[in-house]
Structure formats: C-alpha cells, structure tokens
Amino acid sequence: MNEFVELMTTRRSIRKFQPKMITNAELDQVLYAGLFAASGMGRQPCYFIAVRDPETRHLLSSMNARILGQPSIDPFYGAPVVVVVFADTTSPTYLYDGSLAIGNMMNAAHAVGLGSCWIHRAKEEFETQTGKMLLQEWGLPETVEGIGHLILGYPAEDEHPEAAPRKEDHVVFLMEKKQFPALVDVLTEDSVVFHGTATDKVSAIREAGQIVVDLKCAGDEYIDSMLKREADFSTYLGNGVSVAHGTVWGRKRIRKTGVGLVRFPEGVDFDGEKATLVFAVAGVGDDHMDLVQQISAAALNDSVVQALNEAEDYDAVKAALKNLRLYK
C-alpha cells in the first residue's frame, strides 16, 4: 500500500493523552499542513488559533462543556494543545474549506506521531459574548465562524483504538457505459398518446403506466409501484416533464424494456407544477435508470420539450428525440 494512503487509513481519533506538551516543531508541521489544505478557488478563508496556554485552554474547555450540557467534564480529553479552526463566512465554501483543513491537520498529526480528535461546538462557543470578546482579542474578523477544535497531544500508552468496520455499499462505481437503448428507439408509435384524458397526477401516472402494461413490459402491479414512488418522491422534473417509474421492488417485476408518453395539452397538476409530458419508464436492468437519465436530459432541453409539446404525430416526436442519446 502507498505510504500516504496507509497513513490516512491508520489514523484514529484519540481521546486519551499523555500530559506531556508537544514540541513547537510538531505543532508547526500540523499547522503548515492545515495552511495548505485545498479551498474553494484558492480563497484560503481559514484561521487557526493554536492554544498552548493552560488558562485559555481551560476557558475554552469550560465554555464547550457548558454548551454540551455537561459542565463538569473536559470535552478536550486532557489534550495539552487545542487548535481552534475558524473560516470567513464571506467565502461561499467556508464550511467545507475549514473542515478540509481540520482533516489535513489530523493526518499530519498522525504523521508526526501525535494523536488528534475533532471536537465540535466551536460555532456555538464563539457566538457567546465571551467567544466574541476572544475573537476581538485575537484580531479575527467579525465575519468568521468557528468550524471545530482540533485537540493534539501524545496518545496515552494504552490508547490504540481499532477502526470500526467500514460500511458496505457506500462506494458505487459508474463504469464505462455499455450500449443502452436510445429513448427514441424505445418509444414506439404505439406508446405515444397525444391527448391524455387524466385531470390529476394519480390518474396521469396511471394513464402513462397503462401504456407499458399494455406493451407487456410489466403487469398491473407495476402501476402501483409507480404510484408508491410518487408518494415517496416526486417524479416531476421541471419544464412540464414528469418521469413516472417504479420502485426497486417494482423494477424486479419488469419483463421487457418499454417507455410510454402521454401528452396533456392543458397540463396536469403535479404538486403545484403543470406537467404536459408524462413519461412512464419500465426498463430491464440498467436500461431503467439510463432511460430515466435520457428523459431528465430532455427535460433540461427547452427546444426538445417545446418540440414534444408541439408534435402532431409520431414522426415529429422521433425528430425531437433523435439527437438526445447520451451514449454512442
């Protein structure tokens, strides 16, 4: 394994420290790593207050403990050094930049033999009157916000926490796309209705869903699955387009790939939005989400939506969709 990757994967949050003070050289290296953390457009909005003074450390610990609701504890776990990280809120990425700086410093601390842990509640701490006085005393701008505390010290000799098991299915690989069917090829003449009769969202989804059922793509239960998805999460995409499709359970019952399209010239209410084009998707395997993505791309294309709304026959629908294919 690469040494740097191994360093990052062996870092642990330390909550038990030796009382011995860390060296200036070690602290400098940690702070230096924080200064070189990436920031949005290189704005560098972060400020670090490195607290080695026991009196100031005790004050911050007391403030933090009161916010935590446990005034008798030390939220800094006895660590001799506390680095308070602030970021200027005038930068749109300040919260992410400050968080990344803390991450950089945690890895750097591990690299030089120190233990570290991120302690929260810095925002609330420095919104208090005492916190505001400290900001003024330290010469920080009024626009900063506390991001977090990084506690530093030498780990106690018996402090060797094991990493929690990594959660499964938290990495999804989107590999090179296989050849998926184009929407224009799946949408047949029999699957387009130019004058829908539904007057409400549920009826519109049923009307579009009936097309894929009639095409033998799925059974009647698939329409129920489409309505279940709609109840959980709106399938309205914007620009007058909705893409009704089934839940994961419903997709398992799809027999073949098909798409239905119903046009409602007067529009159907989708939770306050007017949908004039209601698609129903039933795709086998990966076809399903690929077709949903193609319809989503169509919804973002004003000229495609306009052409579909104005199409008088199937050939006009095909012409509107012919250049929409995402993958070649």
Q: How far apart are CA 119 and CA 78, in angstroms?
A: 12
Query: What is the biggest distance separating any 2 CA atoms in the chain, rounded to whole angstroms?
Result: 81
Rg (CA), the chain: 29
Catalytic (active site) residue 245: yes
Burial classification of residue 20, based on how many CB atoms lie within 10 Å of its CB (0-12 exposed, 13-18 middle, 19 or more buried): exposed
Q: Where are the beta strands (DSSP E) in the chain?
A: 46-51, 81-88, 115-119, 144-153, 192-193, 236-238, 241-245, 258-270, 273-282
Catalytic residue among 110, 149, 245, 288: 245
Burial classification of residue 121, based on how many CB atoms lie within 10 Å of its CB (0-12 exposed, 13-18 middle, 19 or more buried): middle
Chain centroid, CA 229 distance in Å: 21
User: Is 283 in contact with 274 (CB distance < 8 Å)?
Assistant: no
Coil, helix or strand at residue 186: helix
Alpha helices, H only, 112-247: 122-125, 129-138, 183-186, 201-214, 221-232
Angle at 261 between CA 257 and CA 266, to 5 degrees: 165
Q: How far apart are CA 323 and CA 309, in angstroms?
A: 17
Give every CB contact of residue 169 below 8 A, 6+ residues apart in sequence. none
DSSP result, 305-317: HHHHHH--SHHHH
Token pair for 168? 């499964």
Residue owning tokens 């005492």: 130
Give every CB contact of residue 15 below 8 A, 6+ residues apart in sequence. 77, 117, 159, 161
Catalytic residues: 245
